[in-house]
Amino acid sequence: MSSNVALVVLDSLRHDVWDSLDWVPGLRFSRAYAPSHWTIPTHASVFTGRYPSEIGVHGKSASLDCPKPVLAEQLASADYRTRFYSANTTVTFWDGWGRGFDKVVPFAQLDPLDEGLVDWSEFARRNPDGGMSQKAKAVLKCIRSDCSTVAAFRQGLCYFRRSRADGGTKSVIRRVNNTDFDTRFEFLVLNLMETHTPYHTPDDDGPVNVTIGDAFADNVTNPERVRGGYRRSVEYLAETYRELFDILEANFDYIITVGDHGEMLGEHEMWNHGYGLYPELVRVPLVLSGTDIPDGENTTLVSLLDLHKTIGDLAGVELDSRGRNLLSCLDDRPLLTEYHGFLPWHRDQFERKGVPEGVYDEHDSRLHGVVLPEGYAYETHANGLQTEDGVDLDRARTEIEKIRETIDERETGTAEPEIDEKTKQHLRELGYA
């Protein structure tokens, strides 16, 4: 039976802060794992029901160019209206991520008031100096723009005020409030960025940022400020998401709330989410909400690639998927996690941050992890296979190889993709370059 389904991705939300959103109703999966450590491969798995290596979408190949149809395409073929509102600019940079969506709205246009007015995110990138110089240029931009000067000026004020605090949720609220969801069956994907670096909080004196380059250069001199910035961002997200959730609940039969990956906050001397398969990176919050889903906890091992099959079944669309329906009977099957190496632009970042030469290459090769009923095991470059208490090393190695044998990896190019300076600046702002 067809249903309206909303998938809400809370970017970089750690599993251990999920209690801050304990008001979200529904069935919580307390042992949910992402298939990888960052946004692109995780979203690819959700959209295809396959591991990143199977579809060739990861840090070395970020375009969603796999030959088989993806989730939005399959739902659109079943007469679903499909929309993707993303505060995460890394997804909308690359080719293919709009496949099957009737409407894709990137961060700069999330607020419906932004449409037809000045692109203030572009203005801010081109005029990063701040202060009176930026304000004077902004006024001139309003006057010279081919739109209402008053409206452009008002929206500019809103943009620069919210850019310090908002990761997209406030804009998405206005966007969703201005969307008619009554025409036919709906599939909506939202990506919200409040808990992604840089951590923007309403009461902070500036953005709090830390990159993977800082971690490898041992440059993090203010760890408590970083952790505090993340914690306050989580609190702000919890507050704003409650308002959005109430709106979605009035329009959708099912709401899936999930973190696409976690975040390192000094554990294992790591920060951000640019390296490795540490448990803090791959264990994520996940809850399914709906009128026929009672509140409760499910402790079965599940992967985010299971969302592909789950959404298909909720929509009444049969999909070919490695995943399972999370609302059906599940077993504790072993689950794989994958790290495909650094992003190409991390090399320049390491050089800028003073990371010793050769560190990039030493940590740029593939790693794997496996989730077992007794715990999690994951490979590292420095110390080999690491395990949580109760996990047998030999069994973990065996299970990793067993799953890998079932994967027909898609070969992709390894050349650094061509990107313009605007895109590169976005990646720097988010800590990727």
Do 152 and 162 lie in one domain? The reply is: yes
The residue from 167, 185, 213 where one domain ends is 167
Q: What is the pLDDT at residue 203?
A: 66
Do 97 and 120 lie in one domain? The reply is: no
Do 224 and 270 lie in one domain? The reply is: yes
Do 269 and 124 lie in one domain? The reply is: no
Q: What is the pLDDT at residue 162?
A: 43
CA-closest candidate to residue 195, choices 402, 8, 413 = 8
User: How confident is the model over 346-352, as a mean pLDDT?
Assistant: 94
Residues 358-402 have pLDDT tens digits of 999 999 999 999 999 999 999 999 999 999 988 999 999 999 999
Do 179 and 243 lie in one domain? The reply is: yes
Q: Kindly report which listed range (117-121, 206-210, 357-361) carries the lowest average pLDDT score.
A: 117-121
Q: Is the pLDDT of residue 13 over 70?
A: yes
User: How confident is the model over 47-74, as a mean pLDDT?
Assistant: 96
* Percent of the chain with pLDDT strictly greater than 70: 83
Residues 124-167 have pLDDT tens digits of 555 655 555 655 666 676 666 666 555 555 555 555 544 444 68
Do 17 and 122 lie in one domain? The reply is: no
- Which residue range forms the structural domain that includes residue 139? 111-167
Confidence of residue 92 (pLDDT cuts 50, 70, 90): confident
Q: What is the pLDDT at residue 165?
A: 47
Do 382 and 404 lie in one domain? The reply is: yes
Confidence of residue 340 (pLDDT cuts 50, 70, 90): very high
Do 139 and 48 lie in one domain? The reply is: no
Q: Is the pLDDT of residue 79 over 80?
A: yes
Q: What is the pLDDT at residue 183?
A: 66
Do 200 and 216 lie in one domain? The reply is: yes
The domain total for the chain is 2
Do 120 and 52 lie in one domain? The reply is: no
The residue from 140, 167, 194 where one domain ends is 167
**Domain CATH number, residue 317:** 3.40.720.10
Residues 303-331 have pLDDT tens digits of 999 999 999 999 999 999 999 999 997 89
Do 279 and 228 lie in one domain? The reply is: yes
The residue from 124, 141, 167 where one domain ends is 167
Q: Is the pLDDT of residue 187 over 80?
A: yes
Do 261 and 147 lie in one domain? The reply is: no
